[in-house]
Amino acid sequence: MKIIGADVIVCSPGRNYVTLKITTDSGLIGWGDATLNGRELAVASYLRDHVCPQLIGRDAHQIEDIWQYFYKGAYWRRGPVTMTAIAAVDIALWDLKGKAAGLPVYQLLGGAARDGVMVYGHASGGSLPEMLDDFAGYLDRGYLAVRAQCAVPGGDKGYGVHRGHQLYEPASGSMPDEERFEVGPYLRFVPEMLGAVRDRFGYDVHLLHDAHHRLTPIQAARLGRDIEPFQLFWLEDATPAEDQEAFRLIRQHTTTPLAVGEVFNSIWDCQHLITERLIDYIRASVSHAGGISHLRKIFSLAELYGVRTGSHGAGDLSPVSFAAALHLDMAVPNFGMQEYMGHRDPAGEVFGTTWTFNNGLMHPGDAPGLGVDFDEKAAERFPYDPKYLPVNRRTDGTVHDW
Residues with catalytic function: 159, 212
> With contact defined as beta carbons under 8 Å apart, do 2 and 24 qualify?
yes
- Angle between helices 291-304 and 319-331 in degrees, nearest 10: 40
> With contact defined as beta carbons under 8 Å apart, do 377 and 9 qualify?
no
- Toward ligand CS2, which CB reaches closer, 1 or 210? 210
Interface residues for ligand CS2 in 136-175 (CB under 6 A)?
170
Interface residues for ligand CS2 in 250-309 (CB under 6 A)?
262
Number of residues lying near ligand CS2 (CB under 6 A): 11
Q: Which of 94-102, 194-202, 311-319, 362-370 is the region at the interface with ligand CS2 (rule: CB under 6 A)?
A: 311-319
Which among Mg ion, ligand CS2, none contacts residue 314 (Cβ within 5 to 8 A by kind)?
A: ligand CS2
Amino acid identity for residue 175 in this structure? M
37 binds ligand CS2 (CB under 6 A): yes
Q: What's the min distance (Å) between Cβ of 110 and ligand CS2?
A: 27
Beta-carbon contacts of residue 377 (< 8 Å; ≥ 6 apart): none
CB-CB neighbours of 27 under 10 Å: 9
Residue choice 216, 222, 389, 393 for contact with ligand CS2 (CB under 6 A): 389
Phi, psi of 193 (to 5 degrees): -65, -45
Which among Mg ion, ligand CS2, none contacts residue 37 (Cβ within 5 to 8 A by kind)?
A: ligand CS2
Q: What's the min distance (Å) between Cβ of 5 and ligand CS2?
A: 29
- Angle between helices 217-226 and 183-201 in degrees, nearest 10: 20
Nearest residue to 327 (alpha-carbon basis) of 113, 19, 32, 147: 113
Question: Alpha-carbon distance 211 to 181, whole Å?
Answer: 12
- Toward ligand CS2, which CB reaches closer, 33 or 262? 262
- Toward ligand CS2, which CB reaches closer, 193 or 341? 341
Question: Alpha-carbon distance 270 to 268, whole Å?
Answer: 5
CB-CB neighbours of 123 under 10 Å: 26
Residue choice 212, 214, 288, 294 for contact with ligand CS2 (CB under 6 A): 212
Angstrom distances, CA of residue 196 to CA of 99, 203, 268, 300: 48, 11, 39, 37
Phi, psi of 330 (to 5 degrees): -65, -30
Residue choice 33, 40, 269, 339 for contact with ligand CS2 (CB under 6 A): 339
Tell me the Cα Rg of the chain. Answer: 20
Q: Which residues bind Mg ion (CB under 5 A)?
A: 210
- Toward ligand CS2, which CB reaches closer, 134 or 262? 262
Q: What's the min distance (Å) between Cβ of 169 and ligand CS2?
A: 9
Q: What's the min distance (Å) between Cβ of 147 and ligand CS2?
A: 8
- Toward ligand CS2, which CB reaches closer, 99 or 312? 312
Nearest residue to 379 (alpha-carbon basis) of 3, 12, 5: 12
DSSP string across 199-250? HHH-SSSEEEEE-TT-S-HHHHHHHHHHTGGG--SEEE--S-TT-TTHHHHH
- Toward Mg ion, which CB reaches closer, 10 or 282? 282
Residue choice 210, 226, 280, 329 for contact with ligand CS2 (CB under 6 A): 210
Amino acid identity for residue 265 in this structure? N
- Toward Mg ion, which CB reaches closer, 11 or 307? 307
Q: What's the min distance (Å) between Cβ of 315 and ligand CS2?
A: 7
Q: What's the min distance (Å) between Cβ of 27 and ligand CS2?
A: 35
Which among Mg ion, ligand CS2, none contacts residue 316 (Cβ within 5 to 8 A by kind)?
A: ligand CS2
Name the site residues for ligand CS2 (rule: CB under 6 A). Answer: 37, 170, 210, 212, 262, 312, 314, 316, 339, 341, 389
